[in-house]
């Protein structure tokens, strides 16, 4: 009952309340990025959602679009702005995803929505992470975030899909708040938030 009805109702209520309570933070962040990033405030990207249906994820933009002489984007660490680094450290860049939750694209808790290019690299079990709505936070995020391997993340994602419950969601939301306060697991290495998934790591 929770998986198919109450979870969605909880998402709507909590995300709406969170948007209202956090509106001062969202507005200040919007204005800061508007000033420091030359008007580019939001990062929009197509991601696979529930049953791999595409949707556009919304995040605060924390990096520039600077490219090298060949037209390739520079490494993340070089493109992340000082203000963007602070916003990421506090996980404020994720707040616009509350709009995705209200729309029904995402849930508060679930496997993080990754990139379409990774889907062919998944095993059959790893692909079950798309059997629920993707989340702003999830079991993998409170178990190490970017400090654990991709395979461990996917193991935790599939475990969440199998064990999804109200109690587990409440636990994950509580642990997420603690992780954000402690700023744990933000980067996998000093140079980048997370190494790309290549089907083995």
Q: What percent of the chain has pLDDT over 90?
A: 63
CB-based contact 108:134 (threshold 8 Å): no
Q: Where are the domains of the chain?
A: 2-182
Query: Bigger pLDDT: 165 or 185?
Result: 165
Distance CA 58, CA 96 (A): 6
Q: DSSP code of 132?
A: S
Q: Taking residues 150-159, what's their average pLDDT?
A: 94
| 193: exposed, middle or buried (Cβ count in 10 Å: 0-12, 13-18, 19+) | middle
pTM comes to 0.86
Q: Write the DSSP symbol of residue 201.
A: -
Average pLDDT of 121-144?
A: 94
For 40-44, what is the mean pLDDT?
Answer: 91
What pLDDT was estimated at residue 184? 64
pLDDT tens, residue by residue, 23-36:
999 999 999 999 88
- Is the pLDDT at 201 greater than 80? The verdict is no
pLDDT digits (tens, 9 = 90+) for 50-106: 999 999 999 999 888 888 888 788 888 888 888 888 998 888 999 999 999 999 999
Look over the chain and give the mean of its residue pLDDT values, rounded to a whole number.
89
Number of Cβ within a 10 Å radius of residue 142: 21
């Amino acid at each position: 009952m929770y998986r198919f009805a109450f979870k969605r109702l909880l998402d709507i209520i909590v995300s709406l309340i969170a948007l209202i309570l956090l509106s001062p933070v969202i507005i200040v962040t919007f204005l800061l990025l508007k000033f420091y990033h030359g008007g580019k405030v939001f990062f929009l990207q197509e991601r696979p959602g529930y049953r791999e249906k595409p949707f556009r994820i919304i995040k605060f933009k924390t990096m520039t679009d600077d490219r090298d002489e060949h037209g390739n984007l520079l490494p993340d660490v070089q493109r992340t702005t000082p203000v963007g680094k602070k916003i990421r450290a506090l996980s404020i860049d994720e707040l616009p995803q509350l709009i995705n939750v209200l729309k029904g694209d995402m849930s508060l808790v679930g496997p993080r929505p990754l990139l379409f290019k990774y889907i062919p690299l998944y095993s059959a079990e790893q692909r079950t992470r798309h059997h629920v709505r993707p989340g702003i936070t999830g079991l993998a995020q409170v178990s190490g975030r970017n400090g654990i391997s991709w395979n461990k993340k996917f193991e935790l994602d599939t475990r969440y899909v199998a064990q999804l419950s109200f109690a587990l969601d409440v636990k994950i939301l509580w642990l997420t708040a603690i992780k954000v306060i402690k700023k744990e697991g933000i980067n996998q290495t000093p140079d980048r938030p997370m190494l790309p998934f290549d089907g083995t790591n």
